[in-house]
Amino acid sequence: MTTPTPGTSPGLRPRQVLQLQDVTKIYGAGATSVAALREVNLTLDAGEFVAVMGPSGSGKSSLLALAGGLDTVTSGEIYVQGTPLSRLSLADRAALRRRSVGYVFQEYNLIPTLTAVENVALPLELDGAPPATARAQALEVLAEMGLEELAERFLDELSGGQQQRVAIARAVVGSRRLILADEPTGALDTVTGEEILALLRRRADAGAAVMLVTHEARHAGWADRVIYLRDGAVVSRSGEPR
């Protein structure tokens, strides 16, 4: 048995990308406070695709926001690739997010004044990659998404489904190991929605850890495991143990 490196997850397995340890999130204080998550424990390995389901208000979006370092826990700890998020400065947390975490939101959050390839290359450039390298990597992932031909188009020249694929390309570009998707199929039609899920599945098969929030059982069918939340607690898990 090896001794864990100080500051890393105590039970870190080599393939472990995400670990939530007794995570509680309380919004507000006093009589109006809301417990969005209650002592949630969860691990996600490289190559795994987990779906998170549960009624409205059960804490799904909070779980994703915390896992992606967009918000901080009230108690407990979150480890991304062994790094405890609570011990990082704001700047280090932002850097870890850029390098390791791809986040697909319900709104695409793309920049309309940039082309598809510029949107996808942007996070790499923000992280200091030379523009030519960032562009080459962006083109590579756009090709993987079947969007090669549309790389030089501006966002408003693309359909909703194409824009969402660009958003996913931006989320997975570079060497990000954790992909977090919050209802990524939103208002897309069924066929386009299935394409998005197939893309996420392929990223998991290629070694990323993928966590998908969805209301649709059909979408959860693409996942290796399903976690159900109710009132901020994990009430059931399927597909375990691994």
Ligand X SMILES: Nc1ncnc2c1ncn2[C@@H]1O[C@H](COP(=O)(O)OP(=O)(O)OP(=O)(O)O)[C@@H](O)[C@H]1O
Contact residues: ligand X, CB under 6 A? 27-28, 34, 36, 54, 56-62
Smallest separation (angstroms) from ligand X to the CB of 68 = 13
59 or 76: CB nearest ligand X: 59
Smallest separation (angstroms) from ligand X to the CB of 183 = 7
2 or 32: CB nearest ligand X: 32
57 or 84: CB nearest ligand X: 57
What CA–CA distance (Å, rounded) separates 231 from 229? 7
Smallest separation (angstroms) from ligand X to the CB of 42 = 15
53 or 158: CB nearest ligand X: 53
Kindly report the number of other CB atoms within 10 A of residue 207's CB atom.
14
Smallest separation (angstroms) from ligand X to the CB of 126 = 25
CB 37, CB 24: distance < 8 Å: yes
Length of the chain: 242
13 or 218: CB nearest ligand X: 218
Reduced to 3 states, what is the DSSP secondary structure of residue 67? helix
Structure token digits, residue 60: 């799904």
Smallest separation (angstroms) from ligand X to the CB of 192 = 21
How far, CA to CA in Å, does 6 sit from each of 35, 62, 218? Answer: 31, 28, 42
- Residue matched to tokens 């490289």: 46
136 or 233: CB nearest ligand X: 233
DSSP β-ladder status, 225-230 and 233-238 = antiparallel
Smallest separation (angstroms) from ligand X to the CB of 230 = 9
What CA–CA distance (Å, rounded) separates 50 from 186? 18
Structure token digits, residue 9: 């997850």
Where b means 16+ CB within 10 Å and e means fewer, 153-178 reads: eebeebeebbbbbbbbbbbbbbebbb
CB 213, CB 59: distance < 8 Å: no
Smallest separation (angstroms) from ligand X to the CB of 234 = 12
43 or 61: CB nearest ligand X: 61
How far, CA to CA in Å, does 27 sit from each of 24, 43, 150, 172, 183? Answer: 10, 23, 42, 30, 22
